[in-house]
Amino acid sequence: MKKISILALHLGYGGIEKSIVALANVLSEKYEVEIACSYKLFDKPVFEINEKVKVKYLIEDLVPNRDEFKSAMHNKKFLSVFKEGLKSYKILRLRKKTMVNYIKNTDSNIIISSRDIFDEWLGEYGSDDVFKIGWEHNHYHDDFAYARKITRSCNNLDYLVLVSKQLKKFYSKELELKKSKCKCVYIPNIVDSIPKRLSTLTEKRIISVGRLSEEKGFLDLLKIYNLLIRDYPDWKLDIIGDGKEKNKLVNFIKKHKLENNVTLHGFQNKEYIDKYLNKSSIYVMTSFTESFGIVLIEAMSHGLPCIAFSSAEGARELISSGKNGYLIKNRSYNAFIKKLKDLMKNEEKRKEIGKEARKESKKYTSDIVKEYWFDLVGKK
């Protein structure tokens, strides 16, 4: 049996980490699978892993100290800045040393890298006999310096997997211009499962799920909701997720007296999220950028009509505006609010759009997507 290694930064909270676990689970149906993690953030992985999948932590007693370093800088504690900077340097050196050693010494036939820095090390230090696959989750979002970094990092790989068709087209052209041996292939992310029971779309609830970080645009969502609630005070907003922007959101909610209308649920497991998706009537995404938007697909699988800003590139691939959801151009609050109101006052329209959304979600089930991966790794 062939052995596959997946290189991961950690197995904590995050869309990339969720995708890594989902891929490891489906690949373990046919192959021996091991996830090699740089850091052990928690006693066990956040997302449920098949018992056949092995997890190997390369560093167990140190974790990234970015927040501590930033805090020391912000508070101008220069001695702490020096200490945390030195610690950070030590951690990053250890991360490279342990991952490079793993790449050199693993007995895996196939290695899949989930980060650009791992792509670079895999290409440089991986054995000639190993089938090397990069896996890019992020959209460059007009940051061409980032795009160039990706093309450089995967130059010595066999394949680069992209989670969107637009990214596959872009990087194929870039790598061809560089005359790289690396070939690009489109494989979307995997949705764990399609629920049997759909939302009735009758409850006056709007929902959004994701990491509370600046690029996800949750502050914009609250601003939109604050304008909307004046005309629809009985509609509630649920936000599920955690992150660095939480305090900003809490302060906005308090300032505008939205405590009785908006609930911040924090990070929750799949069962909890499914429960709230199932009793919601509209899903909203206000991300500035989004490569794939797996939570969008999960919302669609519950039959929810979805509204997203077109700046979220992944949403543009998933939503056919007016058919299975709505895409809002130019991050226009007024246009977003108009479509929200159209759905809020028209239950039949919600059901019509939601039915098409459900159909779209079925393209990304593990039974379908795993065959793309089996076909790729079968090339070894």
On whether residue 196 sits in a domain, the answer given is: no
- Strand, helix or coil for residue 22: helix
> What is the reported pLDDT for 108?
96
Q: Are 167 and 210 found together in one domain?
A: no
Q: Are 345 and 371 found together in one domain?
A: no
The average pLDDT across 124-129 equals 95
Q: Are 353 and 266 found together in one domain?
A: yes
On whether residue 199 sits in a domain, the answer given is: no
Could you tell me the CATH number of the domain that includes residue 337? 3.40.50.2000
In tens, the pLDDT along 216-275 reads 999 999 999 999 998 999 999 999 999 889 999 999 999 999 999 999 999 898 899 999
The average pLDDT across 321-349 equals 95
Q: Are 169 and 209 found together in one domain?
A: no
The number of distinct structural domains making up the chain is 2
On whether residue 21 sits in a domain, the answer given is: yes
Q: Are 252 and 332 found together in one domain?
A: yes
Q: Are 54 and 160 found together in one domain?
A: yes
Q: How confident is the model at residue 24 (pLDDT cuts 50, 70, 90)?
A: very high
Q: Single out the residue of 229, 235, 239, 236 nearest to residue 208, CA to CA.
A: 239
The average pLDDT across 142-150 equals 91
> What is the reported pLDDT for 317?
87
Residue 83, number of CB atoms within 10 A of its CB = 15
Q: H helices of 28-77, where?
A: 66-74
On whether residue 120 sits in a domain, the answer given is: yes
In tens, the pLDDT along 292-316 reads 778 899 999 999 999 999 998 888 8
Q: Are 248 and 354 found together in one domain?
A: yes
Task: Indicate the pairing of strand 205-209 with strand 131-136.
Answer: unpaired
- 306-311 LR contacts (CB < 8 Å, sep 24+): 306/282, 306/357, 307/282, 307/283, 307/336, 307/339, 307/340, 307/343, 308/284, 309/217, 309/285, 309/336, 311/287
Q: Which residue range is the domain that position 311 belongs to?
A: 205-363
Angle at 272 between CA 302 and CA 367, to 5 degrees: 50
Q: Are 114 and 229 found together in one domain?
A: no
On whether residue 91 sits in a domain, the answer given is: yes
On whether residue 195 sits in a domain, the answer given is: no
85 residue type, one letter: G
Half-sphere exposure of 65 (CA within 13 A, CB side): 19
On whether residue 198 sits in a domain, the answer given is: no
Q: Are 149 and 286 found together in one domain?
A: no
Q: Are 173 and 235 found together in one domain?
A: no
Q: Are 256 and 181 found together in one domain?
A: no
Q: How confident is the model at residue 85 (pLDDT cuts 50, 70, 90)?
A: confident
On whether residue 252 sits in a domain, the answer given is: yes
For the chain, what is the mean pLDDT? 93
Query: Which residue has 């793309």 as its token pair?
Result: 372
Q: Are 243 and 127 found together in one domain?
A: no
What is the token pair recorded at 160? 């680069």
The average pLDDT across 177-184 equals 93
Structure letter (DSSP) for residue 188: P
Phi, psi (deg, nearest 5) at residue 183: -105, 145
